Chains A and B, each alone.
Chain A
Amino acid sequence: SAVISQKPSRDICQRGTSLTIQCQVDSQVTMMFWYRQQPGQSLTLIATANQGSEATYESGFVIDKFPISRPNLTFSTLTVSNMSPEDSSIYLCSAGTGSDTDTQYFGPGTRLTVL
Protein backbone atom coordinates (compact mmCIF):
# COMPACT_ATOMS: atom_id res chain seq x y z
CA SER A 1 0.00 0.00 0.00
CA ALA A 2 0.95 3.66 -0.22
CA VAL A 3 0.32 6.59 2.08
CA ILE A 4 -0.47 9.85 0.35
CA SER A 5 -0.43 13.31 1.87
CA GLN A 6 -1.63 16.58 0.40
CA LYS A 7 -0.88 20.18 1.18
CA PRO A 8 -2.72 22.34 1.92
CA SER A 9 -5.67 20.49 3.41
CA ARG A 10 -7.87 23.48 2.70
CA ASP A 11 -7.60 27.04 1.50
CA ILE A 12 -9.74 30.07 0.81
CA CYS A 13 -8.56 32.08 -2.18
CA GLN A 14 -9.51 35.23 -4.01
CA ARG A 15 -10.82 35.25 -7.55
CA GLY A 16 -8.05 35.59 -10.14
CA THR A 17 -5.29 34.10 -8.01
CA SER A 18 -3.64 30.68 -8.33
CA LEU A 19 -3.11 27.87 -5.85
CA THR A 20 -0.63 25.03 -6.04
CA ILE A 21 -1.54 21.77 -4.33
CA GLN A 22 1.19 19.32 -3.42
CA CYS A 23 0.87 15.55 -3.33
CA GLN A 24 3.50 13.38 -1.65
CA VAL A 25 3.62 9.58 -1.73
CA ASP A 26 5.62 7.59 0.81
CA SER A 27 6.95 5.22 -1.85
CA GLN A 28 7.80 5.30 -5.52
CA VAL A 29 4.73 4.84 -7.71
CA THR A 30 4.21 4.38 -11.40
CA MET A 31 1.09 6.45 -11.89
CA MET A 32 -0.28 9.55 -10.22
CA PHE A 33 -3.63 11.17 -10.93
CA TRP A 34 -5.53 14.30 -10.03
CA TYR A 35 -9.30 14.39 -9.45
CA ARG A 36 -11.89 16.98 -8.62
CA GLN A 37 -14.94 16.31 -6.49
CA GLN A 38 -17.81 18.72 -6.01
CA PRO A 39 -19.72 18.39 -2.71
CA GLY A 40 -22.06 15.42 -2.83
CA GLN A 41 -20.82 14.38 -6.25
CA SER A 42 -18.58 11.68 -7.62
CA LEU A 43 -14.94 12.14 -8.57
CA THR A 44 -13.97 13.56 -11.95
CA LEU A 45 -10.54 12.75 -13.34
CA ILE A 46 -8.62 15.88 -14.30
CA ALA A 47 -5.38 14.40 -15.58
CA THR A 48 -2.71 11.76 -15.31
CA ALA A 49 0.56 13.12 -13.99
CA ASN A 50 3.35 11.55 -16.03
CA GLN A 51 6.86 11.45 -14.63
CA GLY A 52 9.28 13.14 -16.97
CA SER A 53 6.68 14.24 -19.51
CA GLU A 54 3.63 16.44 -19.88
CA ALA A 55 0.46 15.43 -18.06
CA THR A 56 -2.38 13.77 -19.96
CA TYR A 57 -5.58 15.77 -19.54
CA GLU A 58 -9.15 14.52 -19.71
CA SER A 59 -11.77 16.18 -21.84
CA GLY A 60 -12.77 19.53 -20.43
CA PHE A 61 -9.49 20.16 -18.62
CA VAL A 62 -6.56 22.09 -20.10
CA ILE A 63 -2.97 22.63 -19.13
CA ASP A 64 -3.26 26.41 -18.96
CA LYS A 65 -5.90 26.14 -16.26
CA PHE A 66 -4.52 23.13 -14.39
CA PRO A 67 -0.76 22.89 -14.90
CA ILE A 68 0.68 19.75 -13.36
CA SER A 69 4.22 18.82 -12.46
CA ARG A 70 5.67 15.38 -11.68
CA PRO A 71 9.39 15.82 -11.04
CA ASN A 72 9.92 12.35 -9.59
CA LEU A 73 8.19 9.09 -8.68
CA THR A 74 6.89 10.27 -5.30
CA PHE A 75 5.71 13.85 -5.83
CA SER A 76 3.31 15.86 -7.96
CA THR A 77 1.71 19.27 -7.92
CA LEU A 78 -1.52 20.61 -9.37
CA THR A 79 -1.99 24.34 -9.87
CA VAL A 80 -5.45 25.82 -10.18
CA SER A 81 -4.85 29.00 -12.18
CA ASN A 82 -6.80 32.23 -12.44
CA MET A 83 -9.40 30.88 -10.06
CA SER A 84 -13.10 31.65 -10.12
CA PRO A 85 -15.83 30.58 -7.67
CA GLU A 86 -16.64 27.69 -10.04
CA ASP A 87 -13.26 26.17 -9.12
CA SER A 88 -14.39 25.70 -5.54
CA SER A 89 -14.15 21.99 -4.99
CA ILE A 90 -12.17 19.22 -3.36
CA TYR A 91 -9.05 18.23 -5.25
CA LEU A 92 -7.63 14.77 -4.69
CA CYS A 93 -4.52 13.04 -5.87
CA SER A 94 -4.10 9.31 -6.17
CA ALA A 95 -1.32 6.87 -6.93
CA GLY A 96 -1.21 3.50 -8.60
CA THR A 97 1.39 1.20 -7.12
CA GLY A 98 1.21 -1.87 -9.26
CA SER A 99 0.58 -3.14 -12.74
CA ASP A 100 -3.15 -3.30 -12.09
CA THR A 101 -3.87 0.39 -11.72
CA ASP A 102 -7.47 -0.17 -10.88
CA THR A 103 -6.09 -0.39 -7.35
CA GLN A 104 -5.26 3.15 -6.39
CA TYR A 105 -4.54 4.92 -3.14
CA PHE A 106 -5.98 8.36 -2.54
CA GLY A 107 -4.88 11.38 -0.60
CA PRO A 108 -7.20 13.09 1.87
CA GLY A 109 -8.02 15.89 -0.54
CA THR A 110 -7.63 19.66 -0.60
CA ARG A 111 -10.78 21.66 -0.01
CA LEU A 112 -10.62 24.85 -2.07
CA THR A 113 -13.00 27.77 -1.69
CA VAL A 114 -12.76 30.66 -4.13
CA LEU A 115 -14.41 33.92 -3.16
Chain B
Amino acid sequence: LAKTTQPISMDSYEGQEVNITCSHNNIATNDYITWYQQFPSQGPRFIIQGYKTKVTNEVASLFIPADRKSSTLSLPRVSLSDTAVYYCLVGDGRDDKIIFGKGTRLHILP
Protein backbone atom coordinates (compact mmCIF):
# COMPACT_ATOMS: atom_id res chain seq x y z
CA LEU B 1 0.00 0.00 0.00
CA ALA B 2 1.37 3.39 -1.00
CA LYS B 3 2.36 5.74 1.80
CA THR B 4 0.67 9.12 1.94
CA THR B 5 1.84 12.41 3.40
CA GLN B 6 -0.47 15.28 4.22
CA PRO B 7 -0.29 18.33 6.49
CA ILE B 8 -0.98 17.60 10.13
CA SER B 9 -3.31 20.56 10.53
CA MET B 10 -4.82 23.54 8.71
CA ASP B 11 -6.87 26.56 9.72
CA SER B 12 -9.25 28.47 7.49
CA TYR B 13 -12.18 30.84 7.75
CA GLU B 14 -15.83 30.38 6.95
CA GLY B 15 -16.68 31.01 3.32
CA GLN B 16 -13.16 30.28 2.08
CA GLU B 17 -12.12 27.51 -0.28
CA VAL B 18 -9.86 25.01 1.40
CA ASN B 19 -7.36 22.86 -0.46
CA ILE B 20 -5.66 19.92 1.26
CA THR B 21 -2.84 18.32 -0.65
CA CYS B 22 -1.70 14.75 -0.21
CA SER B 23 1.57 13.31 -1.52
CA HIS B 24 1.72 9.70 -2.66
CA ASN B 25 4.94 9.33 -4.60
CA ASN B 26 4.80 5.53 -4.68
CA ILE B 27 1.28 5.25 -6.06
CA ALA B 28 0.83 2.16 -8.21
CA THR B 29 -0.84 1.98 -11.60
CA ASN B 30 -3.98 0.32 -10.23
CA ASP B 31 -4.32 2.51 -7.15
CA TYR B 32 -7.25 4.83 -6.56
CA ILE B 33 -7.11 7.89 -4.32
CA THR B 34 -9.81 8.13 -1.68
CA TRP B 35 -10.58 10.79 0.91
CA TYR B 36 -12.47 10.31 4.14
CA GLN B 37 -13.78 12.85 6.63
CA GLN B 38 -14.10 12.22 10.35
CA PHE B 39 -16.03 14.44 12.72
CA PRO B 40 -15.41 14.22 16.47
CA SER B 41 -17.06 11.20 18.07
CA GLN B 42 -18.02 9.71 14.71
CA GLY B 43 -16.60 7.13 12.35
CA PRO B 44 -14.92 8.24 9.13
CA ARG B 45 -17.16 9.06 6.18
CA PHE B 46 -16.28 8.56 2.51
CA ILE B 47 -16.03 11.90 0.69
CA ILE B 48 -14.64 11.34 -2.77
CA GLN B 49 -12.55 8.99 -4.86
CA GLY B 50 -10.65 9.41 -8.09
CA TYR B 51 -8.07 7.89 -10.37
CA LYS B 52 -6.90 10.80 -12.51
CA THR B 53 -7.76 14.37 -13.60
CA LYS B 54 -10.68 15.86 -11.70
CA VAL B 55 -13.65 14.44 -9.86
CA THR B 56 -16.44 16.51 -8.38
CA ASN B 57 -19.41 15.64 -6.24
CA GLU B 58 -21.82 17.55 -4.03
CA VAL B 59 -19.30 17.71 -1.20
CA ALA B 60 -15.88 18.30 -2.73
CA SER B 61 -13.61 18.21 -5.74
CA LEU B 62 -10.53 16.07 -6.16
CA PHE B 63 -7.72 17.21 -8.42
CA ILE B 64 -5.14 14.68 -9.55
CA PRO B 65 -2.23 15.72 -11.78
CA ALA B 66 -1.05 13.60 -14.67
CA ASP B 67 1.78 11.94 -12.70
CA ARG B 68 -0.69 11.03 -9.90
CA LYS B 69 2.01 11.51 -7.27
CA SER B 70 -0.18 13.92 -5.38
CA SER B 71 -3.81 14.90 -5.09
CA THR B 72 -5.70 17.89 -3.76
CA LEU B 73 -9.01 17.78 -1.98
CA SER B 74 -10.90 21.03 -2.49
CA LEU B 75 -13.73 22.07 -0.20
CA PRO B 76 -15.68 25.05 -1.58
CA ARG B 77 -16.91 27.76 0.78
CA VAL B 78 -16.30 25.95 4.05
CA SER B 79 -18.44 26.41 7.12
CA LEU B 80 -17.81 25.72 10.80
CA SER B 81 -19.32 22.27 10.33
CA ASP B 82 -16.47 21.31 8.02
CA THR B 83 -14.15 21.21 11.01
CA ALA B 84 -12.94 17.61 10.95
CA VAL B 85 -10.02 15.34 10.24
CA TYR B 86 -9.49 14.52 6.56
CA TYR B 87 -7.71 11.34 5.55
CA CYS B 88 -6.11 10.65 2.17
CA LEU B 89 -5.76 6.97 1.27
CA VAL B 90 -4.28 5.22 -1.71
CA GLY B 91 -4.91 1.64 -2.74
CA ASP B 92 -6.34 -0.66 -5.36
CA GLY B 93 -8.79 -2.57 -3.25
CA ARG B 94 -7.08 -5.89 -3.84
CA ASP B 95 -5.71 -5.93 -0.32
CA ASP B 96 -9.30 -5.61 0.88
CA LYS B 97 -8.31 -3.30 3.71
CA ILE B 98 -7.62 0.37 4.35
CA ILE B 99 -4.59 1.68 6.20
CA PHE B 100 -5.15 5.16 7.59
CA GLY B 101 -2.39 7.75 7.79
CA LYS B 102 -2.35 10.56 10.32
CA GLY B 103 -4.82 12.75 8.44
CA THR B 104 -5.18 16.53 8.33
CA ARG B 105 -6.98 18.23 11.17
CA LEU B 106 -8.93 21.09 9.57
CA HIS B 107 -10.17 23.83 11.85
CA ILE B 108 -12.62 26.37 10.45
CA LEU B 109 -12.74 29.71 12.22
CA PRO B 110 -15.70 32.12 12.25
A interface list, Cβ under 8 A from B: 4, 31, 33, 35, 42-45, 48, 92, 94, 96, 99-109, 111
Contacts of B44 in A (CB 8 A): 43, 94, 106
- Give the contact-size bracket for chain B: 20 to 34
A105 touches B46 (CB 8 A): yes
Contact across chains for B93 and A101 when beta carbons are under 8 A apart: yes
What are 25 A-B interface contacts by the 8 Å CB criterion?
Answer: A31-B96, A33-B97, A42-B101, A43-B44, A45-B97, A94-B43, A94-B44, A94-B98, A96-B96, A100-B49, A100-B93, A101-B96, A101-B98, A102-B32, A102-B91, A102-B92, A102-B93, A102-B98, A103-B46, A104-B46, A104-B98, A105-B46, A106-B45, A107-B43, A109-B43
The binding surface of chain A is classed by DSSP as: strand
A28 to B45, CA, bound (A): 19
Extra contacts, 6 of them, besides A45-B97, A102-B98 (Cβ < 8 A), are A42-B102, A99-B93, A101-B97, A102-B92, A103-B49, A106-B45
Q: Which one of B41, B46, B49, B97 has the greatest number of beta carbons of chain A within 10 Å?
A: B97
Over the window 40-81 of chain B, the binary record of Cβ atoms lying under 8 Å from chain A Cβ atoms (1 yes, 0 no) is 011111100100000000000000000000000000000000
The list of the 7 closest CB pairs from A to B, nearest first, reads: A106-B43, A100-B93, A43-B100, A102-B34, A42-B100, A101-B93, A101-B96
Contact partners of A102 in chain B: CB under 8 A: 32, 34, 49, 89, 91-93, 98
B41 touches A103 (CB 8 A): no
